[in-house]
Amino acid sequence: MPDSEFRERIVQNLTAEEFTIEFENALFSDRSFTFETNLMMPYPKGIIARAKEKGFRIEIYFFCLSSQRLARERVDIRVKNNGHFVDEKTIALKWKEGYKNINLHFTDFDYLLFIDNSLEKTPTPLFEMEITDKTNYTLTKHVNELPEYAKRRLPAIFDLLR
């Protein structure tokens, strides 16, 4: 294994260990806890289930991008500003898997807010859902018409919007 891959693996392991400690501390002390996820596998179902068992309200703020091309452009901007590089294959995978997993698992959450982050202006809230159980929800739209990409990328949720 090349040295750079070895270092990256060490950092990932340390980060995962630190995350686990912080999560356990939050559960133990009944303290709010926030983390960022792209909903890639492994999907954080275990974390969500444990927090729900402890009575936590589970919210997700899902930032939508209209295309993989735009995701690549955002990575390019990040790299130009000394951020980390992500290869095109990984960008495509994460973009697809994020949408796939939110469609499969949106009922795991108590509250969801979908935000269009595709435009150069301020991100735009599209709609929000309050879920009381797997079949009961309240939906609030924040735009008159959802963007076409959202209808295509969020089919399970879009079916509820009709």
pLDDT at 3: 64
Q: How far apart are the first and last CA of the chain?
A: 51
Give the Cα separation of 78 and 48 in Å (integer): 29
Non-local (6+) Cβ contacts of 90 within 8 A are: none
Shared domain for 49 and 6, answered yes or no, is: no
Shared domain for 30 and 71, answered yes or no, is: no
Convert the pLDDT of each residue in 131-156 to its tens digit: 988 788 999 999 999 999 999 999 99
Q: How many domains does the chain have?
A: 2
Shared domain for 12 and 63, answered yes or no, is: no
Shared domain for 51 and 123, answered yes or no, is: yes
Shared domain for 70 and 3, answered yes or no, is: no
Shared domain for 59 and 94, answered yes or no, is: yes
Shared domain for 26 and 77, answered yes or no, is: no
Shared domain for 93 and 24, answered yes or no, is: no
pLDDT at 4: 64
pLDDT at 2: 66
Query: By C-alpha distance, which of 102, 121, 117, 119 is closest to 160?
Result: 102
Q: Please, what is the average pLDDT of the chain?
A: 89
Which residues does residue 127 pair with via DSSP β-bridges, in sequence order? 114, 141
Shared domain for 21 and 41, answered yes or no, is: no
Length of the chain: 162
What is the span of the domain harbouring residue 92?
A: 36-161
Find the mean pLDDT for residues 59-73. Answer: 95
